[in-house]
Structure 1
Amino acid sequence: MAAGAHYLDLTAEQPAVQALHDALGAPAQAAAVAVVPAMAFFGGLADLLATAALAELGGDRPGPHRADEITVAVALDRWWPTAGTRSTGRRNTAQRLIVSGGRLTRAPDPAPATTWVFGPPFGAQPVVALPFSEVVTIAHHVRVGELRSYLMTAPLTELRDPGTPPPTATDESGRSAQRFAVDVAVRRDGRERLLAASGRDIYAVSAPIVAEGVVRLLDGGLRTTGVASPGQIFPAADVLTALSATPHGPRIEERWAWTR
Structure 2
Amino acid sequence: MENSIAIYGAYGHTGKFIVAELSRKGYKNLLLSGRDPEKLTLLHQEYPDLKIKAAAIDDPKAMDDAFYGAYIIINCAGPYLDTAKPIIEAALRSGSHYIDLSAEQKAVLDVFELFAEQAKNSKILIIPAAAFYGGLADLLSTALTQDWNKIDEINVYIGLDSWHPTKGTRLTGDRNHYKRLTFKDNRLQELEAGVPKEWDFKNPIGIKEVVALPLSEIITISRHLNVHTISTFLSQNSLNDLRNNDTPEPKPVDSKNRSSQQFCVEVIAVKGNIRRTVSAHGQDIYAVTAPLVTEAVNRILSGSIKKTGVTTMGEVFDASDFLQSLSEDDIKIAAIEESTLN
TM-score higher than 0.5? yes
d(CA) in 1 for partners of 2:181, 2:275: 24
Of residues 106, 113, 134, the one that matches 1:22 is 113
Q: Shift in Å at residue 255 of structure 1?
A: 6.1
d(CA) in 2 for partners of 1:128, 1:156: 9
In the other structure, the counterpart of 1:46 is 137
Write the letter of the residue equivalent to 1:206.
T
8 Å CA contact 2:97, 2:125 repeated in 1: yes
Q: Deviations over 1:185-237 (max 9, x none)?
A: 01113211111000000000000001111111111111011111110000000
In the other structure, the counterpart of 1:198 is 281
Local SS of the residue matching 1:41 = coil
8 Å CA contact 1:47, 1:137 repeated in 2: yes
**TM-score, normalising length: structure 2:** 0.71
Distance 1:179 1:252, change over 3 A: same
Write the letter of the residue equivalent to 1:259.
T
Of residues 74, 94, 107, the one that matches 2:178 is 94
d(CA) in 2 for partners of 1:195, 1:71: 11
d(CA) in 2 for partners of 1:256, 1:117: 16
Write the letter of the residue equivalent to 1:216.
R
Write the letter of the residue equivalent to 2:289.
S
Q: Shift in Å at residue 118 of structure 1?
A: 1.5
d(CA) in 1 for partners of 2:314, 2:298: 15
In the other structure, the counterpart of 2:72 is none
Sequence identity, in percent? 40
8 Å CA contact 1:99, 1:145 repeated in 2: yes
Of residues 233, 237, 242, the one that matches 1:150 is 233
Q: Shift in Å at residue 124 of structure 1?
A: 2.5
Unpaired runs of at least 5, structure 1: 60-64
In the other structure, the counterpart of 1:238 is 321
d(CA) in 2 for partners of 1:66, 1:133: 21
Using CA pairs below 8 Å that are at least 6 residues apart, which structure has the higher relative contact order?
A: 1
Q: Give 1:9-158 correspondences, 5 Å limit.
A: 9-55=100-146, 58-59=147-148, 65-108=149-192, 110-158=193-241
**TM-score, normalising length: structure 1:** 0.93
Q: Shift in Å at residue 123 of structure 1?
A: 2.9
d(CA) in 1 for partners of 2:132, 2:254: 20
User: How many residues are treated as equivalent by the alignment?
Assistant: 250
Provide the alpha-carbon RMSD of the alignment.
1.2
d(CA) in 2 for partners of 1:226, 1:188: 29
Q: Shift in Å at residue 253 of structure 1?
A: 0.3
Of residues 162, 167, 180, the one that matches 2:263 is 180
d(CA) in 1 for partners of 2:328, 2:207: 29
d(CA) in 2 for partners of 1:185, 1:139: 15
In the other structure, the counterpart of 1:7 is 98
8 Å CA contact 2:144, 2:336 repeated in 1: no
Moved more, 232-241 or 112-121: 112-121
8 Å CA contact 1:42, 1:134 repeated in 2: yes
8 Å CA contact 1:111, 1:130 repeated in 2: no
In the other structure, the counterpart of 1:259 is 340
Q: Shift in Å at residue 116 of structure 1?
A: 1.6
Extract structure 1 runs of 4+ deviating beyond 4 A: none
